[in-house]
């Protein structure tokens, strides 16, 4: 593994820890870390249920926090790490924010917006395209989601 791969995995592990926080609060476990030049700028975890907010996905939370900290909406040079492939809303938000690179763990074949169903993150018709790396910590992220949904079915 190169140094860059090691760094990707390190940031993804932080995102996985954030996904755990989402789970503890009753939300689908998805976590996100936004980094630039090797530094974490913002973090987020899914809080749709906790905040009664359909847009409070991990990615959106992290993008908002980073933009607020920068004092501007352009997140040039940033890499967003997220434990699950972004949905259509989040992929569009990444393009709107001019994120440079997206790294995600497991695919979302039911609603992915970065390659599985659609690919808004890297579509030549749009005015900004994002470099995508897939599969970093894929097994861990998928296992977290699988166990969450299995537990939830048991409770029903």
CB of 82 to Zn ion, least distance (A): 9
Q: Does 87 bind Zn ion (CB under 5 A)?
A: yes
Site mask for Zn ion (CB under 5 A), range 97-136, x = bound: ----------------------------------------
Residue 22 engages Zn ion in binding (rule: CB under 5 A): no
One of 59, 85, 151, 155 is an active-site residue; which one? Answer: 59
- Helix (H), strand (E), coil (C) string for the chain: CCHHHHHHHHHHHHHHHHHHHHHHCCCCCCEEEEEECCEEEEEEECCHHHHCCCCCCHHHHHHHHHHHHHCCCCCCCCEEEEEECCCHHHHHHHHHCCCCEEEEEECCCCCCCECCCCECCCCCCCCCCCEEEECCCHHHHHHHHHHHHHHHHHHC
Using the contact rule CB under 5 A, the part of the chain among 62-70, 80-88, 96-104, 116-124 near Zn ion is 80-88
Residue with tokens 């979302």: 108
- For Zn ion, which residue of 57, 66, 108, 145 counts as binding (CB under 5 A)? 57
Distance in Å, CB of 44 to Zn ion, minimum: 10
Is residue 124 within 8 A of residue 95, CB to CB? The reply is no
Closest CB to Zn ion among residues 63, 87: 87
Residue (of 9, 137, 10) closest to 83 by Cα position: 137
Q: Establish if 32 lies at the interface with Zn ion (CB under 5 A).
A: no
Rg (CA), the chain: 15
Shortest distance, position 118 Cβ to Zn ion, whole Å: 12
Q: Is 59 annotated in the active site?
A: yes
> Residue 90 interacts with Zn ion (CB under 5 A)?
yes
Catalytic residue IDs = 59
Residues binding Zn ion (CB under 5 A)? 57, 87, 89-90
């Amino acid at each position: 593994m190169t140094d860059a791969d090691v760094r990707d995995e390190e940031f993804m592990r932080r995102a996985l820890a954030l996904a755990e926080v989402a789970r503890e609060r009753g939300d689908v476990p998805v976590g996100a870390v936004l980094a630039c030049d090797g530094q974490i700028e913002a973090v987020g975890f899914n809080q749709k249920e906790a905040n009664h907010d359909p847009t409070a996905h991990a990615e959106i939370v992290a993008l908002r926090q980073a933009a607020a900290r920068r004092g501007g909406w352009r997140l040039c040079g940033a890499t967003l790490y997220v434990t699950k492939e972004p949905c259509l809303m989040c992929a569009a938000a990444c393009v709107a924010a001019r994120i440079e690179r997206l790294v995600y763990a497991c695919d979302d074949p039911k609603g992915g917006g970065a390659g599985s169903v659609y690919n808004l993150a890297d579509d030549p018709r749009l005015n900004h395209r994002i470099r995508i790396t897939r599969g970093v910590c894929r097994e861990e992220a998928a296992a977290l989601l699988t166990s969450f949904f299995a537990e939830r079915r048991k409770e029903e």
